[in-house]
Amino acid sequence: MNKKQKELAIEVKGITKSYPGVVANKSVDFTVNKGEIHALVGENGAGKSTLMKILYGIEQADEGEVSVNGNVVEINKVDTAIKLGIGMVHQEFHLVPSFTAAENIGLGEEPRNSNGLINWDKLNKDVSEIAEKYGLDVDPNLRMIDASVGIQQRTEILKTLYRNADILILDEPTAVLTPQETDELFQVIRSLVDEGKTVIFITHKLREVMEISDRVTVMRDGEVQGVSETKKTSVKELANLMVGREVFLQVQKEKSKPTDVVLEVKDLWVHDARGLVAVKGVNFEVAKGEIVGIAGVDGNGQTELVEALAGLRDTSRGEILFEGKNIEKNSPRQRRREGLAHIPEDRSNTGLNVRLAIWENLIGTSYFRSPLSRGGIVSMKNILRHSNELRETFDIRSPGVTIRAGSLSGGNQQKVVVARELSEEPALTIASQPTRGVDIGNIEAIHEQIVEIRDSGKAVLLISAELDEVMSVADRVGVIYEGEFVEWVDPSKVNQEQMGLYMAGIKG
Ligand SMILES: Nc1ncnc2c1ncn2[C@@H]1O[C@H](COP(=O)(O)OP(=O)(O)O)[C@@H](O)[C@H]1O
Ligand SMILES: [Mg+2]
């Protein structure tokens, strides 16, 4: 056996960490070999980020021991972690939007001239050199406010490399990326290990684990459930370990039985925030009893189309007919009252008020109705009962409904939005990226709920950049490219490769 492979970059023994009311890490043992890509997987709330924050000195463990490169260390602040060669890219980026990439990367560590002023030339040169070495394509002069999510992430990675990180922790890096950006990130990760770095890659997407990692550790409820070489395990086995029960990876549903048309879109044109045409004269219908999917790479007009349907963006031409009536002039609230629900892609801004309690978010669109209000008076008792029922039905994991929505994990925040929207049994539900950032057990639950709405005779429009999702959940799928439908397909009769061509705008 190759001795080098056996050297440990990280060895964690018996780490326990409690927060009020929850043990986030329970006697965790965790090892990472030097030079490997180690996937750390688990559902939301499993304790992955906590363990990584302990390694990075953001949190302190109650018990346990950490060794880095064979030496027992005390990491009680981030500076210590950085000195030990550990770098971390968080789920939420920590960049200054008005600063350029180079300014962000150098922040607090800028090279100085002899007169004490920042040596911008050297900083730009250093950044470009590191960027080149690892294939991290970033323009040092680009302001972060103008950068795509993918570029912001690369800037964060460069920031750790600029501080000489040897062990990189990437916390759910692909949750915010498109499939192409994910591919690009994987190339970067591969070049990092080629250059001798060690990468800890957190994800809940098991396909990514299989594609990129050498070994994988699975966590659930704060405990390690298993460790394996990736090639000796399977998606199925990992999914079962993660969720703690048998998971169906395929959505179970009968053939759809569409009836009356609920939504009719005719020659619809919509402009984007910059005034450019984003939706170019699309036509389609959605009927009761069917799930119509819209597939496509992010940024091909999906967002603008959904916003126009939900009443959040003006249309420039065309018609939106809901149950036969023109609704273009109706406010989002009027549309909602008429039976059009919307699960927005951006849950923390549009979907939720993170500063309000879970119950306040759950009833935000229905509190004025009986039995939540009677004779104009709000019944707190009924509201709490109703909220707690939704919390159970939709499996929102929280100590209660009175805590702030913002304190929930991303997946649970999404479940609050889904619960609110679906609890009103709308005639049409527009579900936009309903499982983005949601873990596998909850994805399954959300997909089941979408199929249930369909089976109860309602209509669903599902928009997703996850091809697997649209293909397995929807009954009919339109592929959108540059604001137009390239093709409509029966998902059971078309393969991935053909879909990929449509998504690239190539007609059959
Ligand atoms: N700062 C905190 N205060 C209180 N509870 C926390 C805090 N951070 C995490 N938790 C809780 O610890 C558990 C593990 O969370 P986390 O490590 O973020 O999980 P993961 O990253 O696997 O989704 C969850 O129940 C979460 O709510
Ligand atoms: Mg996390």
Output the DSSP codes for 181-214: HHHHHHHHHHHHHHTT-EEEEEES-HHHHHHH-S
State which ligand 1 atom lies nearest to the alpha carbon of 222: 14
Cβ atoms within 10 Å of 339's Cβ, excluding its own: 17
- Is residue 44 within 6 Å of ligand 1 at its C-beta? yes
Half-sphere exposure of 272 (CA within 13 A, CB side): 13
Q: Is the CB of residue 298 less than 8 Å from the CB of residue 345?
A: no
Cβ atoms within 10 Å of 274's Cβ, excluding its own: 6
DSSP 8-state secondary structure symbol assigned to residue 348: I
Cβ atoms within 10 Å of 128's Cβ, excluding its own: 15
Instruction: Determine the distance separating the centroid of ligand 2 and the alpha carbon of 44, expressed in angstroms.
Output: 6
- Is residue 409 within 6 Å of ligand 1 at its C-beta? yes
Give how far Cα 81 sits from Cα of 37, 64, 70, Å.
19, 17, 15
Residue of 409, 415, 439 to mutate, ligand 1, most atoms within 8 A of C-beta: 409
Pick from 376, 481, 465, 488: which is nearest to 176 by CA?
Answer: 465
Q: Give the strands of the sheet with 86-89, arranged side by side.
A: 86-89, 167-170, 198-203, 37-41, 215-220, 223-229
The CATH number of the structural domain formed by 261-354+408-503 is: 3.40.50.300
Pick from 308, 314, 313, 266: which is nearest to 286 by CA?
Answer: 266
Instruction: Determine the distance separating the centroid of ligand 1 and the alpha carbon of 47, expressed in angstroms.
Output: 6
Q: Which residues contact 207 (CB under 8 A, 6 or more apart)?
A: 235
- Is residue 434 within 6 Å of ligand 1 at its C-beta? no
Of all protein residues, whose CA lies closest to atom 12 belonging to ligand 1? 24
State which ligand 1 atom lies nearest to the alpha carbon of 407: 27
Which regions of the chain carry the CATH code 3.40.50.300?
3-243, 261-354+408-503
State which ligand 1 atom lies nearest to the alpha carbon of 439: 23
Of all protein residues, whose CA lies closest to atom 7 belonging to ligand 1? 19
- Is residue 22 within 6 Å of ligand 1 at its C-beta? yes
Per the rule left: phi > 0, alpha: psi between -120 and 50, beta: everything else, 358 is alpha
Q: Is the CB of residue 188 less than 8 Å from the CB of residue 212?
A: no
Of all protein residues, whose CA lies closest to atom 21 belonging to ligand 1? 49
- pLDDT (tens, 9 = 90+) of the chain, 508 residues, equals 444 446 999 999 999 999 988 899 999 999 999 999 999 998 878 999 999 999 999 999 999 999 999 999 999 999 999 999 999 999 888 899 999 999 999 998 999 999 989 999 999 999 999 999 999 989 999 999 888 888 999 999 999 999 999 999 999 998 777 777 888 999 999 999 999 999 999 987 888 999 999 999 999 989 999 999 999 999 888 988 887 766 666 788 999 999 999 999 999 999 998 888 999 999 999 999 999 999 987 788 999 999 999 999 999 999 999 999 999 999 998 998 899 999 987 776 778 888 999 999 998 777 777 788 888 888 888 899 999 999 998 888 888 899 999 888 777 888 899 888 888 789 999 999 888 767 777 788 889 889 999 999 999 999 998 888 899 999 999 999 989 999 999 999 988 778 878 887 887 6
DSSP 8-state secondary structure symbol assigned to residue 256: P
| Amino acid identity at 446 | I
CA 255, 261, 263, 268 torsion: positive or negative? positive
In angstroms, the CA 229 to CA 215 distance is 4
Residue of 23, 26, 41, 50 to mutate, ligand 1, most atoms within 8 A of C-beta: 50
Q: Which residues contact 98 (CB under 8 A, 6 or more apart)?
A: 143, 144, 145
- Is residue 140 within 6 Å of ligand 1 at its C-beta? no
Decide the pairing of beta strands 340-343 and 291-295. unpaired
Q: What is the pTM of this model?
A: 0.65
CA 92, 13, 216, 469 torsion: positive or negative? negative
> For residue 399, is the peptide bond before it cis, meaning its omega torsion is within 30 degrees of 0?
no
- Is residue 415 within 6 Å of ligand 1 at its C-beta? no
The CATH number of the structural domain formed by 3-243 is: 3.40.50.300
Question: Long-range CB contacts (< 8 A, 24+ apart) of 57-61?
Answer: 57/81, 59/17, 60/17, 61/15, 61/16, 61/17, 61/25
- Is residue 45 within 6 Å of ligand 1 at its C-beta? yes
